[in-house]
Amino acid sequence: MRLSRYIIRRLLLVIPVLLGVSIFIFTLTRLTGDPVAAYVNEKMTFAQIEQVREQYHLNDPLPQQYLYWLQGIIQGDWGWSKTAAMPVLDAIQYYFPATFELAVISILIAVIVGIALGTRSAIHKNKPFDHATRVVSLIGVSIPVFWLGLLLLQFFYFELNLFPVKGRVSDSFIIARTLPAGPTGFYTIDSLLAGNFALFGDVLWHLALPAITLSFGSIAVILRMQRNSMLEVLSLDYIKTARAKGLDESTVINKHARRNALIPTTTVVGLSFGALLGGAVLTESIFSWPGLGRWSAASITRMDSASILGFCLIVAFIYVMVNLIVDILYAYLDPRVRLG
């Protein structure tokens, strides 16, 4: 099968999953109580409430209600977020860049560190370095994210005063109104584009602790996968051939082995992105990071289910898309996949 046909087939397979997710979320919205409650206040008469019911098609059978609801979702009506005091979709747009920047930086850290450590521990199998990384990955998969975040905060902020306690930038930049209005919403990129290096440094300084906290679990997963696939590749015949024909070890490792070992690792990167989005809820709450995660965690205490369900819908969408991209990338890297 050609790659383009594979991509089209995978895209078509995503549609039923997304529809299923939307039906699931819709069912949850209808289980939270009478949906008319979102549109009425205590001054309305019963007749007026009935009118609202009619207006929003809430007297129709459920399947039809679902279609109207889906239409609303597609047209941008995601309900009202009590927590953010704005429509849910506006809140998502408002909080999204902060979360996305944190997630991208964290996954970058996880990929770079995880692959480097995984490759090295495969080369030094059962040597002290391998044992040390095994301990790191064991702690990474078992430590509670929120606990790690709190410990880092207490140590680096409270004891050593090395890193800031909250937010994306220092207050001085907010007061001086030098925040970039830039095109991407990523403070790192926007500040560089604006040529403001002091701000760029400040943004990185604020990113450090949350990004390390968030990436720790993913480092463990990626490290394990890279180690295993590297060990498998190193036992293959073509590596023996490469060594036999007298190539030096670094060429064998870097040019021959690691490239092929990276292929299976790409799939876990997609999967750990999902865990990362879950971890963002905890990490953002701890570091007062003004993103989607903190917003949804705040929604929990206010029983604001419209916000929580909106958050879940967007996360499911992102997660499905990321894994779609990873699958396509995988097929591109490993032509054998397309044949299946």
Partner 1 sequence: MTIEAPQSSRFIDDFKAELKPRLREFRNSLGLIRENWTAMMGIVMVLFIVLMALFAPFLAPPQTAGDPMQIPADLSLPKPPFQEGLPLLGTGGNGIDIYYGVVWGARTTVVTSLYVVLTAALIGLVLGGLAGFYGGKIDEIIMRFTDIFLSMPALILAMAIASILTKNLENMMFALIIVWWPSYARLIRGQVLSVRENTYVEASRAIGCKRNRILFKHIIPNSISPLIVSITLDLGAVALVSASLSYIGFGVGPGYAEWGRMISDGQRWFLSTITYNGVSYTPWWALVFPGLALLIFTMGCSLIGDGLRDILDPRSRRG
Q: For 173-188, give the DSSP string.
A: HHHTT-----SSS-HH
The Cα–Cα gap between 77 and 92 comes to 12
Task: Answer whether 260's CB lies under 8 Å from 323's CB.
Answer: no
237-296 binders of partner 1 (CB under 8 A): 274-275, 277-279, 281-282, 285, 296
* Segment near partner 1 (CB under 8 A); pick from 11-19, 239-247, 258-266, 327-335: 11-19
Given a contact cutoff of 8 angstroms between Cβ atoms, the answer to whether 286 and 146 are in contact is yes
Residues 243-264, buried b or exposed e (16+ Cβ, 10 A)?
A: eeeeeeeeebbeebbbebbbbb
Taking the complex as a whole, the smallest distance from the CB of residue 6 to partner 1 amounts, in Å, to 19
Is residue 227 a contact partner of residue 132, using CB atoms and an 8 Å limit? no
Nearer to partner 1, 36 or 189 (CB): 36
316 binds partner 1 (CB under 8 A): yes
x/- mask, partner 1, residues 12-31, rule CB under 8 A, reads ----xxx-xx-xxx--x--x
Q: Packing angle between helix 88-123 and helix 128-142, nearest 10 degrees?
A: 160
Instruction: Output 79 or 180, the one with its CB closest to partner 1.
Output: 79
- Residue 324 C-beta: closest distance to partner 1, Å: 10
Give bridge partners of residue 81 from the DSSP assignment: 86
Within 130-159, which residues bind partner 1 (CB under 8 A)?
138-139, 141-147, 150-151, 153-154, 157-159
Distances (CA, A) of 151 to 78, 163, 209, 210, 217: 37, 13, 11, 12, 15
The three-state secondary structure class of 132 is helix
Q: Which stretch binds partner 1 (CB under 8 A): 60-68, 179-187, 201-209, 299-307?
A: 299-307
Is residue 308 close enough to count as binding partner 1 by CB under 8 A?
Answer: yes
Number of residues that bind partner 1 (CB under 8 A): 51
Beta strands in 142-200 (DSSP E): none
170 or 178, CB closer to partner 1? 170
List residues binding partner 1 (CB under 8 A).
16-18, 20-21, 23-25, 28, 31-32, 138-139, 141-147, 150-151, 153-154, 157-159, 165, 274-275, 277-279, 281-282, 285, 296-297, 299-301, 303, 305, 308-309, 311-312, 315-316, 319-320
